[in-house]
Amino acid sequence: MSSYIDTHAHLYLPEFDSDRDNVVEAAVNLGIGKIFLPNIDSSSIEKMNQLAERFPGICYPMMGLHPTSVKENYEEELNRVVQELKIHRYYAIGETGIDLYWDKTFFHEQGLAFTRQLDLSVEYRLPVIIHARESFHEILEILEGYRSKGLKGIFHAFTGSVEIAEKVISMGFKLGIGGIVTYKKSILPDVVRETGLENIVLETDSPYLTPVPFKGKRNESAYISYIAESLAMILNTSAEEVGRITTHNALQLFQPDNHA
């Protein structure tokens, strides 16, 4: 059986309240050995950490402030992120970034919060999980200022062009590929053919971005296998190979067995 890592799943959200344990166990039974949990804001920390503690060696928490949660009180929220990093082991900063799709009201603050979290990524030597929605230009401009700082991480739910993909890879990032690659109008097949598996990690973004054939329903980590199958078709290889290389990439990035 193949082995995979889901590098991005919000399994602590209420969508999973009725069957959370089953969702994790179903994923493990299908070969998804590790699941990384991106934080959203102060309201999600406790449930995320509870899940990570319930499934040690399987579920790993990350710490950050999601761009759509950046509001008037973003400094207070960031202080909590800083506090958490001092008292708890987290495996990445995130998710962070800029989202100009849902709401542009706090665009300026989103940029400040993103920059602050990039600084934390440098300080703690942790990978950073970047959420870029209609904001590649703004994000790349900020990242230019970090070229010499050794940033690494994932562009989560990557949807950019081949050109943008090559740019973010040159800056030390992997592309997070999930359900979108299975959608009919996606340009991702062309992107992944150019970049190759060496620059890709798998993710679901559960409960969102559900792959075909379950599009429209709740997403869960077990569906990684559909994403891997889709990538295998596009790249003319096997799902096993997709699993092997993307798992290696994810382990190298997150170092989950390094108990520093």
- List of residues contacting Zn ion (CB under 5 A): 38, 205
**Nearer Cβ to Zn ion, position 2 or 210?**
210
Q: What are phi and psi of 163, to 5 degrees?
A: -60, -45
Residue 81: name the closest of 131, 44, 125 by CA: 44
Shortest reach from residue 238's CB to Zn ion, in Å: 28
To 10 degrees, what angle do helices 45-54 and 20-29 make?
Answer: 50
Residue found under tokens 């620059």 = 199
Cα–Cα distances in angstroms (integers) from residue 192 to residues 30, 85, 257, in the given order: 24, 34, 28
3-state secondary structure of 130: strand
CB 197 within 8 A of CB 245: yes
Cβ-based burial of 87 (10 A; exposed 0-12, middle 13-18, buried ≥19):
exposed
DSSP assigned state of 69 = G
Collapsed DSSP state (helix, strand, coil) of residue 143: helix
Nearer to Zn ion, 6 or 205 (CB): 205
In whole angstroms, how close is the CB of 203 to Zn ion at the nearest point? Answer: 8
Rounded Cα distance, 39 and 45, in Å = 7
Q: Report the residue number, 99 or 205, with the smaller CB distance to Zn ion.
A: 205
* 55 versus 203: smaller Cβ distance to Zn ion: 203
Nearby residues of 238 by Cβ (< 8 Å), 6 or more positions away:
232
Nearest-approach distance from CB 90 to Zn ion, in angstroms: 15
CA atoms within 13 A on the CB side of 32: 28
The CA–CA distances, whole Å, from 144 to 108, 113, 116 equal: 18, 16, 15
Q: Which is nearer to Zn ion, 203 or 234 (CB)?
A: 203
Nearer to Zn ion, 38 or 111 (CB): 38
DSSP codes joined into one string, 103-141:
--TTHHHHHHHHHHHHHHHHHHT--EEEEEES-HHHHHH
CB of 205 to Zn ion, least distance (A): 5
**Least gap, CB of 1 to Zn ion (angstroms):** 27
Shortest distance in whole angstroms from residue 236 CB to Zn ion: 30
Query: In this complex, which beta carbon is closest to Zn ion, that of residue 51 or of residue 234?
Result: 51
Minimum CB–partner distance for residue 58 and Zn ion (Å): 18
